[in-house]
Amino acid sequence: MSGGTIVMKFGGTSVADATRLKGAAKRIVEKFEAGHRVVAVLSARGKETDRLISDAYEISDAPEPREMDMLLSTGERVSCALCAMAISDLGHEAISLTGSQAGIVTDTSHTKARILDVRADRITSALDEGKIVLVAGFQGVSTSKDVTTLGRGGSDTTAVALAAAVGAEECEIYTDVPGVFSADPRIVPEARKLDIVSFEEMLEMSSSGAGVLQLRSVEYARNHGVRIHCRSSFDHSPGTVVVSEQETMENPLVTAVTHSTGEARVTLTGVPDTPGVAGRIATALAEANVNVDMIIQNDPVSADAPAEMSFTVPRDDLRTAKGALAPVVAELGIGGIATDESMGKVSIVGAGMKSHPGVAAKVFTTLGEHQINIQMISTSPIKISCVIESDRVPDAVRALHSAFELQGEGTIRPEQPFGEFAS
């Protein structure tokens, strides 16, 4: 097989030690020798980012975001430089580029920057010279010429953005699992590897807890039509292909059960029933870069009684969220803030549920049969999420996976032929 440009992305566990890093270099070279132009995006090695973060918190309780980016961006550069050395030893020319050198221009929102533009000239001219190009993931350069990072998992977004910019035929995401599963195999051992998933399903799965692909990278891939192939870096078997809905053969009723155990609930009591209040609260949280998930507002019983508003945020963002809300609470005369950090979430995702209204009822019944109390519910055309107590999440995942018969055999959707997306 010979062909066009492929972007390959290797996560931290795939480059954690010298043996694995050389293994990644070998896979890159195999792809190159098969006739492809290859751009590889690497993450920081193993626990390197965690080490740098802990170095920062040893110095400061609230590290400057700009400096955090300067600090954290070094991890991916190390991986790329080392991988270029390994490729050179395998007899090919490789060049490592920082996010800035690769032309990844972002906004100035440090630690959570968004890509504004990819100026891939330096990449394409290196490819034209027959070089393998290695790009430090997770980072870019802001419009004010500072180093920025894209947030956790940002290397996936780097890879997809580069794939779009260079017109790659596929963006391969190499990871330490064989692909996307019908549920977390650590919780459901009989979970099935999915061969093909639509962008829309993958978006819902990523946003509801499936850690294998970062949400923003899937959004970017959908918006730019980049075919993602999520696969293991430790063997050559095909993984999960993420493509547009037209390309999936049929829509399963339910594709997967996802979950998260790291949620927190914030409840605002005594919220004045005046227009614009919810908007002010949401703006304050958005400006602090806190992703609010579910929002529930209890309408007051009498017309002038204050309302109650609850929403969930990632538990790690709870402190930031409370800090961002404090001035708004004071200014608007909100009664109080209560928080609960022991929240989790279980979701089912499937493109086919659009046309099957009975799915929600089955979810609620199943959880009820297992005495799992549902605290909040949110739905989309292809997803149903329930906020539950964090410690009941594993039971809920197993119950739903079994109720919708997602295990290996007997699945509603037939297996895709392997050959179709073998590399």
Binding stretches for its own copies (CB under 8 A): 18, 21-22, 52, 55-56, 58-64, 66-68, 70-71, 73-74, 77-78, 80-82, 84-86, 88-89, 94-96, 98, 101, 122, 145, 147
**Beta-strand pair 256-271/307-314:** antiparallel
User: By C-alpha distance, which of 100, 104, 92, 95 is closest to 74?
Assistant: 100
Q: Based on CB atoms, which residue is closest to its own copies, 71 or 205?
A: 71
Specify whether the backbone of 179 is left (phi greater than 0), alpha (psi in -120 to 50) or beta.
Answer: left
**Closest CB to its own copies among residues 43, 347:** 43
Q: CB-wise, 147 or 376, nearer to its own copies?
A: 147
Nearer to its own copies, 74 or 261 (CB): 74
* Nearest distance in Å: CB 338, its own copies: 32
Least spacing, CB of residue 119 vs its own copies, in Å:
13
Smallest separation (angstroms) from its own copies to the CB of 18: 4
Give the single-character DSSP code of 210: -
C-beta of residue 208 within 8 angstroms of C-beta of residue 387: no
List the Cα angle 57/58/61 in 5-degree steps. Answer: 45
Task: Tell the smallest beta-carbon distance from residue 91 to its own copies (Å).
Answer: 12
- To its own copies, the closest distance from the beta carbon of 59 in angstroms equals 5
CA–CA dist 164, 149 (Å, integer): 19
Given the complex with its own copies, which of 42 and 164 has the nearer CB atom?
Answer: 42
Residue type, 334: I
Shortest approach of its own copies to residue 146 CB, angstroms? 8
Q: Which CB sits closer to its own copies, 94 or 367?
A: 94
CA nearest to 247, candidates 180, 184, 202, 216:
202
- Report the residue number, 93 or 117, with the smaller CB distance to its own copies: 93
Show the tokens assigned to 15.
Answer: 């480059």
Cβ burial of 361 (10 Å; 0-12, 13-18, 19+) is exposed
Is residue 321 within 8 Å of 313, Cβ to Cβ?
A: yes
User: Roughly what angle, to the nearest 10 degrees, separates helices 277-287 and 318-332?
Assistant: 140
Residue 58 or 235 having the CB closest to its own copies: 58
Neighbours of 78 (CB within 10 A): 16
Least distance CB 81 / its own copies (angstroms): 4
Copy the structure tokens of residue 59: 């110095």
Residues 6+ apart with CB under 8 A from 139: 69, 72, 73, 76, 98, 99, 100, 104, 147, 148, 149, 150, 154, 158
**Which one, 145 or 186, has the nearer CB to its own copies?**
145
Q: What is the DSSP secondary-structure string of 21-86?
A: HHHHHHHHHHHHHTT-EEEEEEPPPTTHHHHHHHHHHHH-SS--HHHHHHHHTHHHHHHHHHHHHH
